Amino acid sequence: MSRLPGRSVTGSLVVVSILLGACSDGTGPGGSRPLKFLTIAAARGSASSCGISVDSTLYCWGGSYGGALGTPPPSACADALGSVPCSLIPLRVSGAPKMTALTASTYWCGLAADSVPYCWGPINYDMDLSHSFGDAPTVLSGDLKLTQLSAGFGHLCGVAADGSGHCWGEFWGGKRGDPTIDFGTGSSATSFVPNTVGGGLSFASITAAVYNTCGITTAGAAYCWGSDYLGTLGDSAAPTQPSCGAGVSPCVLAPYPVAGGLGFQSLSAGWDFYCGLTGGDAVYCWGDDAVGLGIGSSLCSIRAGETLFLCAPVPALVFGPLVGLTLSGGPNAICMIDAQGEGSCWGDNSYGQLGNGGGRGGAVAGGHIFRLIAPGYDHSCGLTTDSLAWCWGENRVGQLGDGTTRDANEPVAVLGPDAP
């Protein structure tokens, strides 16, 4: 059995979550009453967080770069970009429908209770508002109802009720998965209408990354398409072509099976890697080894003749099998929750976003019993089994939701919207 650094996989220790700073009546600091959430997410490309409360109401907090909070925030925070509109505590997104699911990159998207997808915020990392969904939740074009949605870098993919895959946004690298290159504006056309993923596959889920996309079929098979950037297609023998309009690594235009024939129950993406949880409760990863999982057995380059990086061009066993694992990936981190609710994260910890108090990886501090962890760009958030939200990492514009702009390398409680 393969093991991750800094983690024990033996024993059945059950830990008790202590709500630091909570009062006996359930209120938090300053008399605020924390929200209870169905789900929560940390943006993978901006300093913002959002959550859906137990009554399906959408709340967001942090920096509203290009409208990333979905509603005008009450304050301004200092940032390298200048003064940024922000909210240091959860802000109800006025006008948003009742929501059931969230996904985020630089922009945010969610699924409404009627399965209609909505999006808001800037599409590109340069925060160019000419490429934006706007500063309020807006129905995604295409008149589709979706069961699942995933936000990538400049592109967005989802699954319809019939299992068909659909993608919007930038084509370059082939990451939309439609083998028709020319949409009328050239081979790198951006499409704001849905394009059906080729191959006739029935998907259970699709996960969008930076230069490519992967999906799991209803039979559990993994397929990837787009650029083979640092081995992220998961099969070094894939019949790639030199470029798909971006000049970034060889690529394939339609879904191609990931090597190894493994059956997956879930898939998570970083910027340059994928990790999947198999039906046998083992974790396999492929792509760039920047997270430090020890999967790098080969040398890959972004383009021919450029710097070589350690990578895994085919799935490599990282951890397991261990019954009861859940898995989630961020741009430069991977997190897992075991059957007892203990969370652990590995990867970049420059701002304390692993939540372990410092170091390359290990258990998230505080003894919390988690049911969800969402790693973001420079911060992460999680939900405990009592539906309370905790965040950790960088906090320069209030993305931790604790009413401050102080960074935290361990989880801090997200305050309620009535906090002073």
Query: Does pLDDT of 241 surpass 80?
Result: no
Of 3-7, 281-285, 382-386, 392-396, the poorest mean pLDDT is in 3-7
What string of DSSP letters covers 93-128?
-TTPPPEEEEEESSSEEEEETTS-EEEESBSSTT--
What the block records as the tokens of 364 is 């998230």
What is the reported pLDDT for 190? 52
- Would you say residue 124 has pLDDT above 80? no
pLDDT at 187 over 50: no
Total number of domains constituting the chain? 1
Structure confidence at residue 79 (pLDDT): 78
**Predicted TM-score (pTM) of this structure:** 0.87
pLDDT at 75: 87
**Under 8 Å CB-to-CB from 261, ≥6 apart: which residues?**
221
| pLDDT tens track for 314-347 | 999 988 888 888 999 999 899 999 999 999 999 9
Q: Is residue 20 part of a domain?
A: no
Q: Which pLDDT score, from 0 to 100, does residue 250 have? A: 80
Q: Is residue 402 part of a domain?
A: yes
The answer to whether the Cα torsion of 63, 65, 67, 72 is positive or negative is positive
What is the per-residue pLDDT across 130-162, written as a single tens digit (0 to 9) for each? 567 888 999 988 789 999 999 998 888 999 999
Instruction: Compute the mean pLDDT over every residue in the chain, rounded to the nearest whole number.
Output: 83
Q: What DSSP character marks residue 54?
A: T
Range of the domain at 385: 29-413
Residue 228 CA to its chain's centroid (Å): 20
pLDDT of residue 306: 65
pLDDT band at 201 (very low <50, low <70, confident <90, very high): very high
Q: Is the pLDDT of residue 8 over 60?
A: no
Q: Quick check: is 4 in a domain?
A: no
- Which range of 120-124, 281-285, 355-359 scores highest in mean pLDDT? It is 281-285
Number of residues assigned to the chain: 420
Each residue of 32-69: b (16+ CB within 10 Å) or e?
Answer: bbbbebbbbbbbbbbbbbbbbbeeebbbbbbbbbbbbb
Q: Is residue 286 part of a domain?
A: yes
In a domain, residue 228? The reply is yes
pLDDT (0 to 100) of residue 181: 32
CA angle 183, 188, 191 (to 5 degrees): 50
pLDDT of residue 304: 55
CATH assignment of the domain containing 359: 2.130.10.30
Which two tokens mark 40? 């929560």
E strand residue ranges, 199-296: 203-208, 212-217, 222-227, 251-257, 264-269, 273-278, 283-288
The CA-based angle 72-78-81, given to 5 degrees, is 85
In this prediction, residues 167-195 reach a mean pLDDT of: 50
β-pair partners for 42: 49
Model confidence at 246, pLDDT cuts 50, 70, 90, reads: low
* Residue 259 within a domain: yes
Residue 13, pLDDT score: 27
In this prediction, residue 97 has a pLDDT band, given cuts at 50, 70 and 90, of very high
> Does residue 24 belong to any structural domain of this protein?
no
Task: Measure the CA–CA gap between 298 and 290, rounded to whole angstroms.
Answer: 13
What is the predicted pLDDT for the residue at 177?
46
